[in-house]
Amino acid sequence: MRALLTRAEIYWRASLVVVLLAALTGVTSRPAAAGGGVIPTIAILSVESDQSVTVQCYNFPANDSFRVLMGPYGTLGIGGYDAGQIDTGSGGNFKVTFVIPAAMRGAERIAIRLESPVSGYYAYNWFYNDVNAGASGGVAMPAGFEPLPPWVIPTIAITGVKADKNVTIRTANYPKHDIFDVYMGPYGSYGIGG
C-alpha cells in the first residue's frame, strides 16, 4: 500500500501538469513578439493641462487594438479611467493625442496606460498635468543625460539577499548621468507606494 503524497510531491506533480498543459496548448506567459522581440513603449511628448496629452508610441504590433487608461500617478494606469482606444494599423512607431478624462482633471501627475485585450501587450508612463512643469518628470535632465533608444529597456537582476537587511542587484541598460529612486513594497505591489 502506497503512503500519501507529501506536499512537495503534490506541488511538483501539479507544476508538471501546468507546464505540460501550457506546452500542449501553446500558452506562454508572454505575448508573441511585436516583430523581432521588441517591446511596445510610450514617451510623453507634450501636455495641455487638464485637456490632452500627446504620446509617441514605439514598437507597437500591427493590426492590434489598445485601450487607453489614465489614473492616479503610481498606479501604472491599472484600473484607470477610459481615455479611448487606438487601432495600430501597420504598427511600429506613431504619435497620438488623448483627451484627459474629466475624473483626472486637476491631478498633479497622471499615469497613462495602453493595453491590448487581444495580444496582451501593454505600455505605460506618467506625466505632469501642468504645462509649466514639463512634459514628463517635470524636472530638467541632469547635465550629460543621454536618453536610451526606445527599444532598450533598463532591467535589474537580484544577485543577493540578506534577510531583513538588504538586497544586491545588477543593472543593465540604464542611461548615463541619470538618477533613479528605489522603492520596495510587499510582493505583487511592483514597489508602488513602497
Q: What is the pLDDT of residue 62?
A: 93
Q: What is the pLDDT of residue 132?
A: 61
Helix (H, G, I), strand (E, B) or coil at 21: helix
> Would you say the C-alpha torsion 81, 84, 125, 127 has a positive or negative sign?
negative
The residue to which cell 508573441 is assigned: 32
- Domains and their CATH numbers in the chain: 41-128 (2.60.40.1930), 143-194 (no CATH)
DSSP-derived letter for residue 183 is: -
What does the block give as the cell for 187?
Answer: 510582493
Distance CA(190)–CA(194), nearest Å, equals 9
Q: What does pLDDT average to in each consecutive run of 10 residues of the chain (194 residues)?
A: 54 48 41 60 92 94 96 93 95 95 94 94 91 49 60 79 91 77 82 78
Q: What is the pLDDT of residue 130?
A: 76
Element (H, E) at 11: helix 7-25
Q: What is the pLDDT of residue 18?
A: 45
Query: Phi then psi for 7, rounded to 5 degrees?
Result: -60, -40
- Which residues does 85 contact at the CB level (< 8 Å), separation at least 6? 65, 66, 67, 68
Residue 98 · residue 55 · CB < 8 Å: yes
CB-neighbour burial class of residue 96 (10 A; exposed 0-12, middle 13-18, buried 19+): middle
Please write the tens of the pLDDT for every residue from 129-144. 976 654 444 444 556 6
